[in-house]
């Protein structure tokens, strides 16, 4: 059973629908015991870093998430919350991943938020098994995680910035893009995660 963590950060329905299409068993929960006993955990979300961290605190989930030993996938704000800190609200985050999360560099003619399809390159690890380098995935975000030599497993470029499209440390994975909105490529990434 896959636990989708409900911490009031939205975007749960599209992740549910993607897992349903893959035939995966899942439940949406904020119960620490259900999260700890799940085979896999997904932390999705769309929202703002400081309020999302506050929700995790209120639900008593910070230590729970950091202690998980099964495969964990953070999506969008879920990945950002796993980083060291975010410039959005100058927020200390979970510190699972080393990079900080920064606002995109403002460049004339480059729109923020970064919204739409973009490529991922430099793909490494089991999450990207069968995914060609340069595949397109779907993004919606104004902040992005820095690169890290050991933890970055996919790279994306937008405007003046090169950043981590995905991160991994041990059993923790994160994608800045939305696999649940990324067509067949995203479906394969979710399938790869479920099979970890």
CATH code of the domain covering residue 33: 3.40.50.880
In this prediction, the residues of the chain whose per-residue pLDDT falls under 70 are: none
Can you give the pLDDT at residue 45?
A: 83
What amino acid positions are annotated as catalytic residues?
A: 76, 178, 180
- Structural domains in the chain (count): 1
C-alpha dihedral sign at 55, 59, 64, 65: negative
pLDDT one-digit tens code per residue, 140-179: 999 999 999 999 999 999 999 999 999 999 999 999 999 9
Can you give the pLDDT at residue 47?
A: 85
**Cis peptide preceding 132, ω within 30 of 0:** no
For 165, the domain range is 2-194
Q: Which residues contact residue 58 at a Cβ distance below 8 angstroms, ignoring those fewer than 6 apart?
A: none
Separation between Cα atoms, residue 36 and residue 68, nearest integer Å: 7
Decide: helix, strand or coil at residue 36: helix
Separation between Cα atoms, residue 28 and residue 44, nearest integer Å: 11
Can you give the pLDDT at residue 123?
A: 98
Is-contact 158 150, C-beta < 8 A? no
């Amino acid at each position: 059973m896959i636990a989708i963590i409900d911490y009031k950060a939205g975007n749960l329905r599209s992740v549910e629908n993607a897992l349903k299409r893959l035939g995966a068993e899942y439940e949406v929960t904020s119960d620490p015991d259900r999260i700890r006993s799940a085979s896999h955990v997904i932390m999705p979300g769309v929202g703002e870093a400081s309020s999302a961290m506050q929700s995790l605190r209120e639900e008593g989930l910070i230590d729970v998430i950091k202690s998980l030993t099964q495969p964990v996938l953070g999506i969008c704000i879920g990945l950002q919350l796993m980083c060291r800190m975010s410039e959005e609200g100058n927020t200390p985050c979970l510190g699972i991943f080393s990079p900080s999360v920064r606002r995109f560099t403002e460049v004339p003619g480059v729109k923020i938020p970064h919204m739409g399809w973009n490529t991922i390159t430099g793909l490494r690890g089991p999450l990207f098994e069968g995914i060609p380098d340069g595949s397109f995935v779907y993004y919606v975000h104004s902040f992005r995680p820095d690169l890290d030599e050991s933890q970055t497993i996919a790279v994306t470029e937008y405007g003046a910035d090169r950043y981590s499209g995905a991160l991994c440390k041990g059993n923790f994975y994160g994608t800045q893009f939305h696999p649940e909105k990324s067509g067949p490529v995203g479906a394969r990434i979710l399938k790869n995660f479920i099979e970890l």
